[in-house]
Amino acid sequence: MSTRSDLLTSAEILLRTKGYAAFSYADLATDIGIKKASIHHHFPTKEGMAIAIVESYLFRFKNQLEQINADTAGVIDRLKAFALMFAQSSADGMLPLCGALAAELLALPDSLQALTRDFFEIHLKWLQANVALGQSAGEIRSGLDVVIVARLILNTLEGNSFVSWALSDAYVQSSGFDILLEGLRAAPTPN
């Protein structure tokens, strides 16, 4: 891999484990084994590096969402696949990137605040579209407000990431996501 790519990978992990304010170029220099001046060559500012991290992550994240839609027909199964992304972050010892950034929102430069909000909007729009699809397909109860349901799902997954992070426990066993899904399922149609 290139030095730039290594820097982005290492910096993403630091963002998701230490937070934006807590990591420095010195941390990266130690982690990668290069001089701070070399980092400044690739990323003159920490803000510029963070923007590159978020944009790279968003590219991968959007592809994951598209892949879930392409590979998974049922909406309940799509929502489970979406939830697995949060569980994987937890298993890897990291917060979701959007949650880690949101936790420090007011300390972030304006450009990163805007990207963080956009990141959450991407989550919510995907969830809203899938909840609406699930309602029209009879998988999810009709009459539920898709905006509220999308927020409930995201709140549950993000919130559990922080609780599991703080308690150092297993995300999947404590998320309550299956209970939420059961509450959203449409009643089976009688034969």
Q: Does the pLDDT at position 162 exceed 70?
A: yes
Stated pTM of the model:
0.92
Q: What is the pLDDT of residues 9-68, one digit of tens each?
A: 999 999 999 999 988 999 899 989 999 999 999 999 999 999 999 999 999 999 999 999
Residue 30 lies in a domain: no
Q: Where are the alpha helices (DSSP H) in the chain?
A: 3-17, 25-32, 36-42, 46-71, 75-91, 97-103, 110-136, 146-167, 171-174, 177-184
Q: Residues with Cβ < 8 Å from 81, sequence gap 6 or more?
A: 68, 72
DSSP state of 185: B
Quote the domain boundaries for residue 113: 51-184
Q: Does the pLDDT at position 1 exceed 70?
A: no
Residue 118 lies in a domain: yes
DSSP state of 140: B
Share of the chain above pLDDT 90, in %: 75
Residue 31 lies in a domain: no
Residue 41 lies in a domain: no
CATH of the domain at 179: 1.10.357.10
As for how many domains the chain has, the answer is: 1
For residue 132, which of 150, 154, 114, 156 has the smallest C-alpha distance? 150
Residue type (1 letter), 190: P
Q: Cβ–Cβ contacts within 10 Å for residue 39, how many?
A: 23
Residue 12 lies in a domain: no
DSSP state of 107: G
Residue 144 lies in a domain: yes
Provide the pLDDT for residue 157. 94
Residue 26 lies in a domain: no
Distance CA(17)–CA(83), nearest Å, equals: 20
Q: Does the pLDDT at position 94 exceed 70?
A: yes
The arithmetic mean of pLDDT across residues 118-141, rounded, is: 97
Q: Does the pLDDT at position 155 exceed 90?
A: yes
Q: Which residue has the higher pLDDT, 75 or 88?
A: 75
Distance CA(19)–CA(39), nearest Å, equals: 18
Residue 150 lies in a domain: yes
For residue 96, which of 86, 84, 82 has the smallest C-alpha distance? 86
Provide the pLDDT for residue 135. 97
Distance CA(179)–CA(191), nearest Å, equals: 26
